[in-house]
Amino acid sequence: MNMIASLLVSSFLLVCAAGTEALVGPNDDILAASKAGDKAGAEVALASGASVNAVDEKGQSPLGLNGLTPLGLAAAYGHKNVAAFLLDRGANLDVTDSLKQTPVCTEN
């Protein structure tokens, strides 16, 4: 009986670990690339399935705000080349962050 319980616990831990890893992926990559001004990184993230309109829930903006998209982060950090790239790929200009500001309002 102890062996069965041990196997069940091991299986549960593996499932939980897999669920945690699933939270990290292409959307996190495009948000990080946009914040860093890494156009090539944003291209790779999009090719890997990221959404051009992914929403940052980790507060990566200069003021720690939630709700920015890759375009909002690129604008907030002054990365015009990344912002232009994201717009070419269909980024939404009308999305608002937690302060109800659009990427145009956050442009640096």
Q: What are the pLDDT digits (tens) for 76-86?
A: 899 999 999 99
Res 108: pLDDT? 58
Work out the pLDDT band at 7, boundaries 50, 70, 90. Answer: very low
Q: Is residue 63 domain-resident?
A: yes
With vertex at residue 57, the alpha carbon angle to CA 53 and CA 61, rounded to the nearest 5 degrees, is 85
Q: What are the pLDDT digits (tens) for 46-76?
A: 999 999 999 988 877 777 778 889 999 999 8
Q: Is residue 88 domain-resident?
A: yes
Q: Is residue 18 domain-resident?
A: no
Q: How many other C-beta atoms are found inside a 10 Å radius of the C-beta of residue 89? A: 15
pTM above 0.85, yes or no: no
Placement of tokens 């890997």 in the chain: 48
Q: Is residue 72 domain-resident?
A: yes
Q: Is residue 5 domain-resident?
A: no
Q: Under a CB-based contact definition with an 8 Å cutoff, are residues 52 and 86 in contact?
A: yes
CATH of the domain at 57: 1.25.40.20
Q: Is residue 74 domain-resident?
A: yes
What is the domain range of residue 83? 25-106
- In angstroms, rounded to a whole number, what is the distance separating the alpha carbons of residues 58 and 51? 16
pLDDT > 50? residue 92 = yes
Q: Is residue 4 domain-resident?
A: no
Interval 9-33 mean pLDDT: 57
